[in-house]
Amino acid sequence: MGGNDARQYTNLFESIQSGENLTDLLAKPLTDFRTAYRAMLGTIKTTNLRVHVCTIYTAVPFTDPVWRQYAPLAIGQFNNVIIEEANTYTVPVLRLKKICVEESDFAEISPIEPSSQGGGQKIVDYILSKL
């Protein structure tokens, strides 16, 4: 759960008039996301497996100016939910905004995915450093 779940609300970007109305536009999606994320974490915790969760990338090199301006703000709201719920369940969080920060960290074909040599390798290196 994460970025792909948040993507289902991309149609809301057509309604953005300013940063102020972003909060109102995201109220219901964030509530729905929180409910689903909480349920997912609750289920995972019953397995007694060692689990980490990741935030959603915020440094995505969007070409559309509206997306470039507002997507990181919107994604940040979803990341807040991920972090808050993970803290509730004491699940460690891998904060991708601190790892994937350069344009080369994202795939050319799909800029919402990590590149194998950039972001992908950085994520693997970070995970291995925590083992």
Name which residue leads in pLDDT, 68 or 31.
31
Domain presence at residue 114: no
Per the structure, the complete domain to which residue 47 belongs is given by: 3-98
Task: Give the Cα-Cα-Cα angle 93, 78, 91 (nearest 5 degrees).
Answer: 20
**In which band, very low, low, confident or very high, does the pLDDT at 19 lie, cut at 50, 70 and 90?**
low
Q: How many residues can be counted in the chain?
A: 131
Domain presence at residue 124: no
Domain presence at residue 107: no
Domain presence at residue 120: no
Domain presence at residue 129: no
**In which band, very low, low, confident or very high, does the pLDDT at 89 lie, cut at 50, 70 and 90?**
very high
CA dihedral for 105, 41, 10, 73, sign (positive or negative): negative
Cα(6)–Cα(29) distance, integer angstroms: 8
Mean pLDDT confidence for 89-114: 86
Domain presence at residue 74: yes
Mean pLDDT score across all residues of the chain? 85
Residue type, 38: R
Which of 70, 90, 68, 84 has the alpha carbon at shortest distance from 31?
84
Contacts for 102 with CB less than 8 Å, ≥ 6 apart = 59, 118
Domain presence at residue 106: no
Number of domains in the chain: 1
User: Element (H or E) spanning 93, and its range?
Assistant: strand 93-94
